[in-house]
Amino acid sequence: MRKKLVGGILTLGILFGAGGVAMSDHVKGYDTYTTKDGRHSGYVYAAKETQAIQDDDLGNPAYLWLDYGEELWSKVEGEAGKSCASCHKDAATSMKTAGASYPKFDKASGKPINIEQRINKCRTENMKAKAFKYESRELLSSTIYVRNQSRGLPMSVKVDGDMKPFFEKGKAFYEKRRGLLDMACKHCHQDNAGNMIRANLLSEGMSNGFPTYRLKWQKPGSLHRRFRGCNKQVRATPFGYGSDEYTNLEVYLGWRARGIKVEAPAVRN
C-alpha cells in the first residue's frame, strides 16, 4: 500500500509541472465560460488562436458537419417513411434544451441515454431505419446539429431520482485509478487543472463542448471517443462506444459541468 502510494506520488510529481496560466488575460467574455463558483469550460484553457476558430461560425470546421446534420434532419429514411423533422418539426424549437439536459433517464431500458443513443433509438424504433455507427459522419453530424440547438444554455443534467445510482457509478469511475499509470480522471482534471502534463495544459475535463472538433483529430469526435483516448493514455483498456461505463461517466460529467454553457461544436486542441 505504502509502496503504491509513493510510486503514485512520484509518477504524479514527474508528470505534472506547475503551469499557472493566467487564463483571464486573453479570454474575452471570460465570465461567459466560467461559473460563479469558479468552474471553467475547456474554452478558457485553449490558446487564443484556437478560441478564435471556435468563435467564428464560418471558420469552425465542425460547422461543415453541422450543415450535414441539418440536411439529415429532413432526410426521410427507413421503412416508416419518416425523417427527424416528421415528428420533431423545427429543431430549433423541439431540440432547444436537449443539448443541455441529456443524458436523461430512459424508462424503457431503465438506464440513462445520451444524445447519440437517443438518435439511434428514434431511428431504429420510430423510423425503422438502421442505427448510425458511433463516430460516423452521420451520427457526429446529427449529434452536433441537435446539441448546437442548445448553444448558450447552461448545462443542467438531472442527477437525482432515477438518475442517482448512475450518477454515483459515474462518480466512482471518475475517481477510480486505472491502467498501467494507475491514474484516475480526477488526478488530471480535478487535482491538476491548469497545470501542465508534459506539453499539454490540463483542462477541467468539461463535456459542454462535445461533439468537439479537436485539432489533434482534424475532425469532430464524440465524448466517448475522448474517454477512450484518456483511458488509453493511462494505458488502461478503453470501454466501448456507448457502453454503460461511459454513459454513466457522461452523467457525472454533466453534473460537473452544471451551469457551464453548451458550446457544441467546440474547438479544442
Partner 1 sequence: MAKPKPRLSVPKNAKKGEIITIKTLISHKMESGQRKDKKTGKKIPRKIINKFVAKYNGEVVFQSDWHPAISANPYISFKTLATESGTMEFSWTDDDGQVYSKSAKIAVTQ
Binding positions for partner 1, rule: CB under 8 A:
56-59, 63-64, 67-68, 70-71, 75
Distance CA 197, CA 207 (A): 20
**Cβ pair 25, 200 in contact under 8 A:** no
- SS3 call for 196: strand
Residue 109's contacts (CB-CB under 8 Å, 6 or more residues apart) are: none
Distance CA 83, CA 72 (A): 8
Choice between 1 and 58, CB closer to partner 1: 58
DSSP class of residue 195 equals S
Compute the least distance from the CB of residue 152 to partner 1, in Å. Answer: 19
94 is written with which cell numbers? 423541439
Whole-Å CA distances, 247 to 52, 144, 158, 185, 260: 31, 17, 14, 15, 19
Concatenated DSSP letters of 223-234: HHHHHHHHHHHT
Compute the least distance from the CB of residue 75 to partner 1, in Å. Answer: 8
Instruction: Give the sheet arrangement for strand 196-197, strand by strand.
Output: 16-17, 196-197, 200-201
Choice between 68 and 239, CB closer to partner 1: 68
Residue 87 appears among annotated catalytic residues:
no
Compute the least distance from the CB of residue 157 to partner 1, in Å. Answer: 31
Choice between 39 and 219, CB closer to partner 1: 219
Residue 21's closest CA among 250, 196, 241? 196
Compute the least distance from the CB of residue 141 to partner 1, in Å. Answer: 9
Q: Which of 122, 185, 188, 230 is catalytic?
A: 230
Compute the least distance from the CB of residue 218 to partner 1, in Å. Answer: 13
Choice between 74 and 200, CB closer to partner 1: 74
150 is written with which cell numbers? 442548445
Active site residues: 230
